[in-house]
Amino acid sequence: MNSPLRVRLRSVAMSALLGAAVMGAFATTGRADEDVFGYVKSAEPLPKGAVEVTQWFTRRADKGTGHYSALDSKTELEYGFTDKFSGEIALLGQSIDTSGIMIDAYVPGDKKYGMKFSGIEGSVKYNFLSAAKDPVGLSTYFAMQFLTLDPTSGQDKDTWSSEVKLLLQKFFFDDQLIVAFNGGIESTIAKRKPIDGLPPDFEWPTDPEVEIEFIGALGASYRFAPNWSVGAELLYEEEHETAVGQERWTIQAGPNVHFAARQWWATFTWLPQIKGGGSPYPGQTDTDLHLIEKTKEELRLKIGYNF
């Protein structure tokens, strides 16, 4: 019989094997500029004139009831305008498969579709201090995003977000160990599209909603051999909404592995939710997690290529 733990471990193991195969496929004797973290941002910008394309896949799964699985895609093009200033644009996509879950105001019913366009994103990063020669690396990061699909329900929903972050980074042990910290705020205004055929008592607000989210992220990555690094990341998110005040908070944490070759690099992160709070959905049994807008499991694979 497949116990939930065995299913969870098998899913992580299969994803990790795929991630390792991707990394091994790109094995060369060189090195590229890259993200050693899946979720935490480093303070280092791209060098002037550098061009990097990165493909992200993020799998979100398991709300503790029914079936829930979503795959987010982000195809990102980043350019180093100067040695201190870089910018990025990205196309976003989403696929979702959810059934047997109905949560008032959040998940109105079953939804299933393959990967499709879900939005665009643009960001800039400016480096004030270099981790390579100053006591600490310090950059600021600003991003704007427009989504056409709701990441939670998969339904049509227009969301405009802006995000500002402070990025800190420091090297230790001959630069073999990288420690990075991000602190930031994201503000969002969203508007759901109406849905026909919902039960009369089901709440599905279509008025604009405004949210503000506080984000903290901490990561460490250690290069234990040429080309290879392992590390860990922690992500804290706390969201406040006009209607309910603090809507949710979550702590996610987990390991990552990073491989870099001369032109290519890949980072694989397993970041399950460790603890969370805010309103549970009716009948939620995992009461120490927030499972309305977040899931139990997250896996992220990033593959980058430098031109």
Residues that bind other proteins (CB under 8 A): 14, 18, 21-22, 24-33, 47-48, 50, 57, 59, 69, 71, 80, 83, 95-97, 112-115, 130, 132-133, 173-176, 223, 226-227, 229, 260-264, 301, 306
| Cβ-based nearer residue to other proteins, 113 or 117 | 113
Question: What is the smallest separation between the CB atom of 74 and other proteins, expressed in angstroms?
Answer: 14
Question: What is the smallest separation between the CB atom of 230 and other proteins, expressed in angstroms?
Answer: 13
Find the largest Cα–Cα distance for the chain: 63
| Cβ-based nearer residue to other proteins, 24 or 205 | 24
In 3D space, the residue among 137, 144, 184, 150 whose CA is nearest the CA of residue 165 turns out to be: 184
| Cβ-based nearer residue to other proteins, 46 or 234 | 46
DSSP code, position 126: E
Rg over CA atoms, the chain: 20
- Residue 243: other Cβ atoms inside 10 A: 11
Residue 43 tokens read as 């303070």
Question: What is the smallest separation between the CB atom of 131 and other proteins, expressed in angstroms?
Answer: 9
> What is the rounded distance in angstroms from the CA atom of residue 154 to the CA atom of residue 194?
13
Question: What is the smallest separation between the CB atom of 65 and other proteins, expressed in angstroms?
Answer: 18
> What is the rounded distance in angstroms from the CA atom of residue 167 to the CA atom of residue 5?
36
| Cβ-based nearer residue to other proteins, 107 or 303 | 303
Question: What is the smallest separation between the CB atom of 124 and other proteins, expressed in angstroms?
Answer: 18
267 in Cβ contact with 257 (< 8 Å) = yes
Residue 299 tokens read as 């896996």
Question: What is the smallest separation between the CB atom of 136 and other proteins, expressed in angstroms?
Answer: 14
| Cβ-based nearer residue to other proteins, 109 or 183 | 109
> What is the rounded distance in angstroms from the CA atom of residue 140 to the CA atom of residue 259?
26
The residues with which 187 forms a beta bridge, in sequence order, are 162, 212
159 in Cβ contact with 169 (< 8 Å) = no
| Cβ-based nearer residue to other proteins, 173 or 200 | 173
